[in-house]
Amino acid sequence: MSARIATVSRDTNETQITVSVNLDGKGRLRCETGVPFLDHMLDQVARHGMVDLDIDAKGDLHIDDHHTVEDLGITLGQAFHQAIGDKRGIYRYGHAYVPLDEALSRVVIDFSGRPGLYMNVDFTRDTIGRMDTQLFWEFFQGFVNHARVTLHIDNVKGFNAHHQAETIFKAFGRALRMAVAEDPRMAGQMPSTKGSL
């Protein structure tokens, strides 16, 4: 496989974001979003997904975090879509269960070309740090629509909202890692009976 890297920029009246991704990285993150808890979660994605992420994000944080979080999901999704190429030779599907103390989450992903987010999470708090927990849905919706993946996220249990979020993002990273990995038995083949994804 050729290098699976991409850089995407998004420039609007609300945000200016640049994301670089290397799907075959070492799990490194360089990130400045202005939203500290989101930075912490993106570190989980990079580390557990074994992808390198380089993210610069400037947004209208004086209003709130909404536009920055949503647009980062969009830009990250575009970068993944570009880096993955035509998807020949990848596993395509990925899944992970991740625990953290009392919390347990399951994430399943399919690089199907068909966007769909199914998120079943009842956060026990409205905010973690200063981050509104509703924004996690916005982040993943942006990612799904622009990476063109089907994504199922279930928080199976947990009463600590920080733990709930962290298990979700760690499981997301692990599922990504599995899905984008090269499958030696599928070398050069499209992982679909349709012949394209």
For the stretch 151-162, pLDDT in tens is 999 999 999 999
| Cα–Cα distance for residue pair 123/35, rounded to 1 Å | 19
- 151 falls within a domain: yes
Q: Is the model's pLDDT at 104 over the cut of 70?
A: yes
The CATH number of the domain holding residue 168 is 3.30.230.40
Angle of helix 36-49 versus helix 161-180 axis, rounded to 10? 40
Residue % of the chain over a pLDDT of 90: 96
Q: Is the model's pLDDT at 186 over the cut of 70?
A: yes
- 196 falls within a domain: no
Q: Is the model's pLDDT at 141 over the cut of 80?
A: yes
How many domains would you assign to the chain? 1
User: Lowest-pLDDT range, 28-32, 56-60, 97-101, 193-197?
Assistant: 193-197
| Cα–Cα distance for residue pair 142/31, rounded to 1 Å | 18
163-180: average pLDDT: 98
Give 1's pLDDT tier (boundaries 50, 70, 90): low
> Which residues are bridge partners to 56 per DSSP?
18, 32
CA 114 from chain centre, in angstroms, equals 16
- 24 falls within a domain: yes
Q: Residue 105: which H helix or E strand, with range? A: strand 103-110
- 146 falls within a domain: yes
- As a whole number, the mean pLDDT across the chain is 97
pTM of the model: 0.97
Instruction: Give the domain range for residue 40.
Output: 5-180
- 188 falls within a domain: no
- 197 falls within a domain: no
Cβ atoms of 196 and 92 within 8 Å: the answer is no
- 185 falls within a domain: no
Return the number of other C-beta atoms located less than 10 Å from residue 15's C-beta: 21
- 125 falls within a domain: yes
**Residues shown for the chain:** 197
